[in-house]
Amino acid sequence: MAIYKDYGFTHNQAAHTFQYLLKPVISLLGNDKNRSILDLGCGNGYLVSYLLKEGFNAYGTDASEKGIAIARQQHPDRFFLQDLSTGKLPVELQMIAFDTIVSTEVIEHLYDPEGFIDFCRDQLNTGGELIITTPYHGYLKNLGLSLFNKWDAHLDPIWYGGHIKLWSKSTLSKLLEKKGFEVVNFKGCGRIPYFWKSMIIKAKLR
């Protein structure tokens, strides 16, 4: 039986992925349009805290008790524990009309990505926006991993709670479109084009 294992956050600083994700994610947001933001899988709360500092109205949820405890040290009213398998937001957030959901480096860890996108859709207003980041996979990167025999290190099946879904622009776009979203933006992040570390897809709810 799979049992959730807390990620084990120890500080409120940015994860290494934000070295190449933060600026492009922020570039897809605007205070005039994205007035109520939910960060699903917020970890230690770094992104939400950054958004609040920049004048955005943002909240975060995560399954990690340690991560939420760290996040609440700065903003106790903005972070909440959440088990996505329940299909519901924490009670404190259920009355908020969210126009934007951000989820960074989460969907690759999920057994049920379709259920996750359904959940995101159900929390958004009509015309709401969903911004997802996840490790990038595509022909050239996959070929490079094969040529240099890096798949074992890349996948690392021994990593408990590691990546179990590998997404390309095509496959993630297909899932989003199936669930009623229109993909409106794509950005590759980290490294040279087509060998990107991660990708960002922004989609709008039809």
CA-atom Rg of the chain in angstroms:
17
pTM of the prediction?
A: 0.95
Q: Domains in the chain, please, with CATH?
A: 18-205 (3.40.50.150)
Q: For residues 159 and 143, what is the distance between their CA atoms, to the nearest angstrom?
A: 23
- Could you report the average pLDDT of every consecutive run of 10 residues in the chain (206 residues)? 75 96 98 95 98 97 96 97 88 95 97 96 94 98 97 92 95 98 98 97 97
Q: For residues 42 and 68, what is the distance between their CA atoms, to the nearest angstrom?
A: 8
Q: What is the pLDDT of residue 1?
A: 42
Q: For residues 9 and 146, what is the distance between their CA atoms, to the nearest angstrom?
A: 33
